[in-house]
Chains A and B, each alone.
Chain A
Amino acid sequence: MIVQGIAQQEMTNSAGDVPLLEVRGITKSFPGVKALQDVSLRLQAGEVLAVIGENGAGKSTLMKILAGVQSPDQGQLLINGREVNLTSVNDALHHGIALIHQELNLSDNLDVAANIFLGREITRFGVLQKKAMSKASGEFLKQVGLKISPQALVKEFSIGQQQLIEIAKALSINAKILIMDEPTSSLSHGETQTLFEIVHMLRSRGVGVIYISHRLGEIKELADRVVVLRDGQRVGELQSEEIRRERMVSLMVGRDIDQFYERSPYPPGETLLEIDRLRTASFPQQTVSLRVRRGEIVGISGLVGAGRTELLEAIFGVTPAISGTIKVRGKVVKLMHPAQAIESGIMLVPEDRKQHGLILEKSVKFNSSLPSLSRFARWNCFTNRQRETQLTKHAISILKIKTPTVEQIVKYLSGGNQQKVVIAKWLEMSPELLLLDEPTRGIDVGAKEEIYHLMDHLAGQGMAIVFVSSEMEEVIGMSDRVLVMREGQISGELQRSELSEEALMQLAT
């Protein structure tokens, strides 16, 4: 480790004192708000620099400026010591800066080679040279460790593989500076490891990587240096040995968070849910059996694609199970539609909140009252608007949803607040079993802490909670008991005292 550190040091020195990229005093305002205020940073060749901060801290704006999407009001950008003026994405690409956005920018109806060369197609007399592009793409794909055909359509690949295709694309333009915005937010553990290896490989080649993530564990593992932003200002920098979770969190939030994961010991109550030999359509050969008691928080761990979401969706009746029995409070229930699950007191906060959790163009009130409308309707038919407003206001105050009014369109809320609106939908209906699928994905530290607190509080009131998470720290921190899934079945169960990352990984792979 130490040797590596020295080698690293030498390399940056050998690159000279001129940094690969220097940002000097960047300020950017949007109408009514200062997104960035006098932010400076340096990136050396062969370095991984993590930029962290809560949502709204200015990370995205900074990255957009570096990628030429937006231009700063004040300040300078220097590449290899020379001032540059990036006015477009092409400009940035020309200077060797590539941005890999958290929402992938591939055209999934085109093949891999076409995506890698999109906008820079190899042509002869205006005719596409597909063979040449395919061949060149193959080289870059090999470098990122993808063994796929350049002629295959992008949509055939997993999100993780698509991410790697994006990186291959960045390699193909010979990027010297690679900006990665939340690259692992939808990757499985294995894919994340592959990504890390590639980042290490890029670093050893002298590429400067700017890495943005909410997952502090990753940053600890990957980053040489961390720059922290808060409210558009640079509030601190941590060198390699200082990169620790508590330091990062307190800089991001601006105060100490003493207990990030809260889990008060409650005695679990009677059995609420019993699942016996359930088979889902995605894994028809495997059966799953489990029990959940009141007041218990059960974590479901495992790799992406291990059947965790499918299990929750079968329990919620979104994609009904093909066989097996589900008992709630000792009675067999048929769950063929979410309406029936809700009737039995089972509610799901889905993994993809934008697709399944919310109607983005509608208001906080519209969304939060949607499932409970029928419950509060007059004569089962007419809406009760006072009640809706009252309930929404109540949810806003307990969940601390930051929204100007109940009529605010949810699209304009931050990720954390959107997630709270999804939770608000169910909270008013007092679920007995709450299913949470990746409840803290893509939301900032402050909101995460609040959601953990809420989970603990609800379990204390006797609610049973089953949550799926790809973040092992979260699973370990919050669960009373963890079920690990692998290829559609439960490969093991760990009690709170037995939890460790190694134990989880062993069962998951």
Chain B
Amino acid sequence: MKKVLGILALFLAIMAFTAWNSSNFFSSYNMQNLISRISLYSIISIGAAMVIITGGIDLSIGSLIALTGTVLPYLLTEKDWSVFAAVLATMLLSLFIGLCHGLLITKLRLQPFIVTLFGLLFYRGIARWLTNDQSVGYGGDYPHLTSWVTGRIALPGLSDPQEFHLPAVCLFMIVVTILAWFFLNQTIFGRYLFALGRNEEAARYSGIKTQRYVVLTYVICSGLAGLGGILFSLESGSVQPTGFGNFYELYAIAAAVLGGCSLRGGEGTILGVVIGAGILLLLRNTINLLGIPSSLEFAVVGGVILMGAIADELFLRLAVFARSRRRGVIEKDSRIAERTAQ
């Protein structure tokens, strides 16, 4: 909980800094854009976080986004599938890919890094081959479908069209966040993920069918990446398979880590991950608004991640020190109690 408050403070600090230096920050246009971006990235970051909590990693998220982002328009425009069938097929494809990752990792005992590195290269390749490296898009033919993402929902009390409207994609994010939070914190399966993430053997010796849950996690992660791919593609309208979704897995992993997930597994909170994604996109926004050269974007984001990791480590040491103090006092107390009892 302390960790979440820490990054929330960082988020608010960057926000205050940007708002102070740019009058455009709180404009409804900028806010809508920012919230929409944060929503999209949160969805894929939550998937990455789940995998990281089990002690794994998924490097294929960006390429899977490219694949699903091209497959959906391909099925709709080239193959004339119905919207329902095309979306369903695209989602099933991503869930199936997650299942394959999970089985390769648990049954063949391949390392998650290798399996998903394969995915990183393979799905990108397939996406490019499928489209002959050409852009694909929805044109203007699917206004209903695109409105899932680009639609704006009027908030009660703000009826002026110039005022702020909530981006529709935000609803996806809210639903995914609530479900993920519920899954991780209120169900026994979530607890199992934390247990096996830190010590898979101990979890197995406790009677937990660990492989089953590892597979499930990769299915969830790829499922969310697939959903993300659909939503990202709807948001941009057209998809360039060579560049679409590039580095998104790194953003997702960075958001998860900023949000308190440990790469050693067994730690992390969903709220933290969403705020983590928020920080990354807020930084991008800050760079844009303050006229910092956009070529510096990666450098700034990287710097913030490093500082976050350093601050986290320092806090951890402080906590250990405080604990050893407290523990010493407790031991002493119980000894005194024992002696007086004798």
- A104, chain B: closest CB distance, angstroms: 20
- Indicate whether B137 reaches chain A with its CB closer than 8 angstroms: no
Interface 1/0 per residue, A359-391 and B, CB below 8 Å: 111100010001101100100011100000000
Interface 1/0 per residue, A335-351 and B, CB below 8 Å: 00111011000001010
Interface residues of B in 57-110 (CB under 8 A from A): none
A318-B332 contact given A359-B195, A359-B198, A362-B198, CB 8 Å threshold: no
- Indicate whether A126 reaches chain B with its CB closer than 8 angstroms: no
A382-B188 contact given A31-B328, A32-B326, CB 8 Å threshold: yes
Q: Do B205 and A359 have beta carbons less than 8 Å apart?
A: no
In the bound complex, residues from chain A placing their C-beta under 8 Å from that of B324 are 30-32
Q: Do B202 and A30 have beta carbons less than 8 Å apart?
A: no
Complexed CA–CA distance, A356 and B198 (Å)? 11
In the bound complex, residues from chain A placing their C-beta under 8 Å from that of B201 are 355-356
In the bound complex, residues from chain B placing their C-beta under 8 Å from that of A31 are 321, 324-325, 328
- Indicate whether B23 reaches chain A with its CB closer than 8 angstroms: no
- Indicate whether B331 reaches chain A with its CB closer than 8 angstroms: yes
Query: Which stretch from B206-214, B231-239, B307-315 is at the chain A interface?
Result: B206-214
In the bound complex, residues from chain A placing their C-beta under 8 Å from that of B326 are 32
Complexed CA–CA distance, A143 and B54 (Å)? 47
Q: Do A358 and B202 have beta carbons less than 8 Å apart?
A: yes
Q: Do A412 and B323 have beta carbons less than 8 Å apart?
A: yes
Q: Do B198 and A348 have beta carbons less than 8 Å apart?
A: no
A359-B203 contact given A33-B332, A339-B208, CB 8 Å threshold: yes
- A151, chain B: closest CB distance, angstroms: 30
In the bound complex, residues from chain B placing their C-beta under 8 Å from that of A371 are 206-208
Give A373's nearest chain B residue, CB to CB. B188
In the bound complex, residues from chain B placing their C-beta under 8 Å from that of A382 are 186-188
Please give the number of chain B residues whose Cβ is less than 8 angstroms from any Cβ of chain A in the complex.
36
Give B196's nearest chain A residue, CB to CB. A359
- Indicate whether A425 reaches chain B with its CB closer than 8 angstroms: yes
- Indicate whether B159 reaches chain A with its CB closer than 8 angstroms: no
Query: Chain A interface: which size bin?
Result: 35 or more
- Indicate whether A402 reaches chain B with its CB closer than 8 angstroms: yes
Give B183's nearest chain A residue, CB to CB. A381
In the bound complex, residues from chain A placing their C-beta under 8 Å from that of B332 are 32-34
Give A384's nearest chain B residue, CB to CB. B188
In the bound complex, residues from chain B placing their C-beta under 8 Å from that of A337 are 204, 207, 209
- Indicate whether A124 reaches chain B with its CB closer than 8 angstroms: no
Total inter-chain residue pairs, C-beta < 8 Å: 98
Complexed CA–CA distance, A56 and B192 (Å)? 33
- Indicate whether A120 reaches chain B with its CB closer than 8 angstroms: no
- Indicate whether A145 reaches chain B with its CB closer than 8 angstroms: no
In the bound complex, residues from chain A placing their C-beta under 8 Å from that of B191 are 366, 370, 373, 383
In the bound complex, residues from chain B placing their C-beta under 8 Å from that of A348 are 205
In the bound complex, residues from chain A placing their C-beta under 8 Å from that of B208 are 339, 370-371
Complexed CA–CA distance, A56 and B202 (Å)? 26
- B207's partner among A32, A255, A339 (CB-CB below 8 A) is A339
Complexed CA–CA distance, A355 and B267 (Å)? 18
- A373, chain B: closest CB distance, angstroms: 5
- Indicate whether A357 reaches chain B with its CB closer than 8 angstroms: yes
Interface 1/0 per residue, B257-292 and A, CB below 8 Å: 000000000110000000000000000000000000
Interface residues of B in 295-336 (CB under 8 A from A): 321, 323-332, 334-335
- Indicate whether B251 reaches chain A with its CB closer than 8 angstroms: no
Complexed CA–CA distance, A454 and B171 (Å)? 55
Complexed CA–CA distance, A356 and B207 (Å)? 11
Interface residues of B in 162-196 (CB under 8 A from A): 186-192, 194-195
Q: Do B195 and A362 have beta carbons less than 8 Å apart?
A: yes
Q: Do B206 and A425 have beta carbons less than 8 Å apart?
A: yes
Complexed CA–CA distance, A390 and B201 (Å)? 26
In the bound complex, residues from chain A placing their C-beta under 8 Å from that of B327 are 32, 404, 412
Q: Do B187 and A318 have beta carbons less than 8 Å apart?
A: no
- Indicate whether A254 reaches chain B with its CB closer than 8 angstroms: yes
A381-B205 contact given A30-B328, A32-B327, A366-B195, CB 8 Å threshold: no
In the bound complex, residues from chain A placing their C-beta under 8 Å from that of B206 are 338, 370-371, 425
Interchain residue pairs A-B with the least CB separation, the first 10 = A32-B328, A33-B328, A32-B329, A342-B207, A371-B206, A31-B325, A339-B207, A373-B188, A359-B199, A356-B205
**Chain A interface (Cβ < 8 Å from any Cβ of B):** 30-34, 56, 231, 254-255, 316, 318, 337-339, 341-342, 348, 350, 355-362, 366, 370-371, 373-374, 377, 381-383, 402, 404, 412, 425
Extra A-B contacts (13), CB below 8 Å, given A361-B266, A382-B186, A383-B188: A30-B324, A31-B324, A32-B326, A337-B207, A339-B209, A341-B207, A348-B205, A355-B202, A356-B201, A357-B202, A374-B188, A381-B189, A412-B327
A–B Cβ pairs within 8 angstroms, 24 of them:
A31-B325, A32-B328, A32-B332, A33-B329, A56-B331, A255-B342, A337-B207, A338-B206, A338-B207, A342-B207, A355-B202, A357-B205, A359-B198, A359-B199, A359-B203, A361-B267, A366-B191, A370-B203, A371-B206, A373-B188, A374-B188, A382-B188, A404-B327, A412-B327
